[in-house]
């Protein structure tokens, strides 16, 4: 399950093998029953009109299992 969530995360964030990971941006997964989440940090290296910058954006994707399939949801039900 964790491998599947990591693959989904990599596809959604556009990461490739050459992007690499450091200890600060390794995605983490959390699975509990029929819910799961992936928390990650995307790193954007930007160059706009000569101004360069690196921006880190944190995000979390949530999933729920319905009829045996994992479905992306907006946020966990409470």
pLDDT at residue 55 is higher than 80: yes
What's the rounded mean pLDDT across residues 4-8? 57
What pLDDT score does 15 carry?
52
Q: Rounded CA gap, 39 and 73, in Å?
A: 14
pTM of the model: 0.58
What does the pLDDT read at residue 18? 46
User: Can you tell me the distance from the alpha carbon of 67 to that of 22, in angstroms, rounded to the nearest whole number?
Assistant: 36
Query: What Å distances lie between residue 56 and 2, 19, 40, 65, CA to CA?
Result: 23, 13, 10, 30
- The pLDDT tens digits for 8-51 are 655 555 554 444 555 556 788 898 999 999 998 888 888 888 88
Domain locations along the chain: 2-14+27-73
């Amino acid at each position: 399950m964790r491998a599947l969530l990591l693959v989904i995360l990599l596809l959604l964030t556009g990461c490739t093998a050459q992007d690499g990971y450091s200890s600060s941006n390794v995605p983490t997964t959390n699975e509990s029953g029929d819910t799961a989440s992936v928390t990650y940090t995307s790193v954007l290296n930007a160059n706009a009109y000569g101004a360069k910058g690196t921006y880190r954006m944190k995000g979390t994707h949530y999933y729920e299992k319905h009829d045996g399939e994992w479905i992306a949801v907006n946020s966990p039900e409470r």
